[in-house]
Amino acid sequence: MSRILVLGIGNVLMGDDALGSHVIQELEARYDFPDEVSLIDAGTPGVDLTAYMAGHDVLLVVDVVRAEGRPGEFRHYDKAKLLEKAPLVAMSPHEPGLREALLTADFMGVAPAEVKLIGVIPELVDLGVRLSAAVRAALPRVIEEVVGELTARGAPPVPRDPPRKPDLWWETPRGM
């Protein structure tokens, strides 16, 4: 059985950029996972992204993506598609990005054999702690996609009965 990592990426203080964190929290609240599956809310990992992916056979990444289309639309990228473009020079704390981390992991010999990015086009990536309506509406489908990917790889999550409330601490008003 392969070791699978579901990695949520994003900044919970930047609106739709919190998609990855939302998905990880929802998955942990709704499902129990087999031992070979790990879930990590990585936040904005920058150079640490390579370390997260090392030692896994399969990497499923959830994040918002810059792409043509309407907010809330899905985009799926496999490893080959992610590596098509030339790497970027790191210019912010969010970098290196996924592509650069994969290239580094390949160079080091620790890259997952299989990588899939499950992305959603954001409406707003700006200061704020709430997802836009378009991205929030996409959450159930993203969760369904992750569950489907795990099931297809022989590691189906088991629904919790009853499910827990997701820990969306960044959306909770202070003092509550």
Stretch 57-71: mean pLDDT = 94
Note whether residue 11 is domain-resident. Answer: yes
What pLDDT band is residue 94 in, cutting at 50, 70 and 90? very low
For the cut 60, the answer to whether the pLDDT of residue 90 exceeds it is no
Note whether residue 70 is domain-resident. Answer: yes
Note whether residue 129 is domain-resident. Answer: yes
Q: What is the 3-state secondary structure (H, E, C) of 122-137?
A: CCCCCCECCCCHHHHH
Tell me the HSE value of 94 on the side-chain side, using a 13 A CA sphere. 11
Return the pLDDT at 86: 62
Instruction: Determine what percent of the chain is predicted with pLDDT higher than 90.
Output: 70
Q: Measured between alpha carbons, how far is residue 165 from residues 17, 48, 68, 148 in Å?
A: 21, 29, 34, 22
Note whether residue 25 is domain-resident. Answer: yes
Q: Is 114 helix (H, G, I), strand (E, B) or coil?
A: strand
- The CATH number for 84's domain is 3.40.50.1450
What pLDDT band is residue 92 in, cutting at 50, 70 and 90? very low
Stretch 98-103: mean pLDDT = 86
Q: Which domain holds residue 34?
A: 4-167
Place of tokens 């820990």: 167
Q: Quote the number of domains for the chain.
A: 1
